[in-house]
Amino acid sequence: MHNGGPHGHHVDLLERSSEQAAGEVLGWTERTGPVYLLVVLVLAALVALGVVGFAMTAADGGLDSHHPWGYLAAALAFIMTTSLSAPLVAIAPRFGKAHWNRYVSRIAETWGVVGLLALVILIPLLLTLPPADDRNTMLLYDTIVEGWPVGAPHLYVALVMVFVVINGFGLLWASNIPDFALAKGRVGGLRGALYSKLALGWVGSKRQWRALRAGMGVLGALYFMFIVWAHTVISFDFAQSLVPGMRDSVFPAWQALGGLQAALATVIVTSFVVRKIGPFRDYIGVNQFWSMAKLMLASSLLWMYFWWSGFIIYWYGKTPAQQDLLQLMWFGPYRTIFIITILLCFASPLLILMWNPVRKSILGPTIVGSLIIIGHFFDKIRIYVSSYSVEEYTGHVLKEVPEAVTPGAGDALMMLGVVAGALLLFTLAVKVVPIVNLWEIREGSMLQVVRPFKRLPLKILAKPE
CA nearest to 365, candidates 281, 287, 248, 303: 287
* CA dist., res. 181 & res. 407, Å (int): 48
pLDDT in tens, 219-276: 999 999 999 999 999 998 899 889 888 888 899 999 999 999 999 999 999 999 999 9
Measured in whole angstroms, the distance separating CA 261 from the mean position of its chain's CA atoms is 9
pLDDT for the residue 3: 47
SS (H, E, C) the chain: CEEECCCCEEECCCCCCHHHHHHHHHHHHHCCCHHHHHHHHHHHHHHHHHHHHHHHHHHHHCCCCCHHHHHHHHHHHHHHHCCCCCCHHHHHHHHCCCCHHHHCHHHHHHHHHHHHHHHHHHHHHHHHCCCCCCCCCCCCCCCCCCCCCCCCCHHHHHHHHHHHHHHHHHHHHHHHHHHHHHHHCCCCHHHHHHHHHHHCCCCCCHHHHHHHHHHHHHHHHHHHHHHHHHHHHHHHHCCHHHCCCCCCCCHHHHHHHHHHHHHHHHHHHHHHHHHHHCCCCCCCCHHHHHHHHHHHHHHHHHHHHHHHHHHHHHHHHCCHHHHHHHHHHHHCCCHHHHHHHHHHHHHHHHHHHCCHHHHCCCHHHHHHHHHHHHHHHHHHHHHHHHHHCCCCCCCCCCCCCCCCCCCCHHHHHHHHHHHHHHHHHHHHHCCCCCCCCHHHHHHHHCCEEEEEECCEEEEEECCCC
pLDDT for the residue 11: 54
pLDDT at 6 over 50: no
* CA dist., res. 111 & res. 97, Å (int): 21
pLDDT band at 281; cut points 50, 70, 90:
confident
* CA dist., res. 183 & res. 418, Å (int): 32
CA nearest to 258, candidates 294, 304, 325: 304
Measured over the CA atoms of residue 147, residue 148, residue 152 and residue 156, the dihedral's sign is positive
Classify residue 142 as left (phi > 0), alpha (psi -120 to 50) or beta.
Answer: left
pLDDT band at 16; cut points 50, 70, 90:
low
pLDDT at 377 over 90: yes
pLDDT at 142 over 50: no
- Report angle CA 281, 110, 98 to the nearest 5 degrees: 65
* CA dist., res. 336 & res. 342, Å (int): 10
pLDDT for the residue 32: 87
pLDDT for the residue 108: 96
* CA dist., res. 354 & res. 344, Å (int): 15
Q: What distances in angstroms separate CA 176 from CA 19, 38, 216, 443, 463, one per listed residue? A: 17, 27, 11, 14, 22
CA nearest to 436, candidates 175, 193, 215: 175
* CA dist., res. 240 & res. 385, Å (int): 11
pTM above 0.95, yes or no: no
pLDDT at 443 over 90: no
pLDDT for the residue 15: 64
How does the average pLDDT of the chain come out, rounded? 88
pLDDT band at 139; cut points 50, 70, 90:
low
pLDDT band at 5; cut points 50, 70, 90:
very low
Bond from prior residue into 464 cis (ω within 30 degrees of 0): no
Q: What is the mean pLDDT of residues 16-34?
A: 82
pLDDT in tens, 294-337: 999 999 999 999 999 999 988 998 888 889 999 999 999 999 99
pLDDT at 146 over 70: no
CB of 238 closer than 8 Å to CB of 127? no
pLDDT at 209 over 60: yes
Q: What is the mean pLDDT of residues 70-88?
A: 96
pLDDT in tens, 382-439: 999 999 999 887 777 888 888 999 999 999 999 999 999 999 999 999 999 999 988 8
Burial class (CB in 10 A: 0-12, 13-18, 19+), 372: buried
pLDDT band at 7; cut points 50, 70, 90:
very low
pLDDT at 357 over 60: yes
pLDDT in tens, 150-208: 767 888 899 999 999 999 999 999 999 999 998 887 777 788 889 999 999 899 899 99
Q: Could you give the percent of the chain with pLDDT greater than 70?
A: 92
Instruction: Tell me which long-range contacts 277-285 makes (C-beta under 8 A, separation of at least 24).
Output: 278/28, 278/435, 279/24, 279/28, 280/28, 280/435, 280/436, 282/1, 282/14, 282/15, 282/16, 283/14, 283/21, 283/103, 283/436, 283/441, 284/103, 284/104, 284/436, 285/1, 285/10, 285/12, 285/103, 285/362
CA nearest to 96, candidates 237, 253, 217: 217
pLDDT for the residue 412: 96
Q: Count other Cβ atoms within 10 Å, centred on residue 460.
A: 10
> Among the listed ranges 16-30, 32-46, 167-181, 333-347, which one has the minimum average pLDDT value?
16-30
pLDDT band at 4; cut points 50, 70, 90:
very low
Classify residue 248 as left (phi > 0), alpha (psi -120 to 50) or beta.
Answer: beta
Measured over the CA atoms of residue 228, residue 230, residue 232 and residue 234, the dihedral's sign is negative
The strand pairing partners of 460, in sequence order, are 449
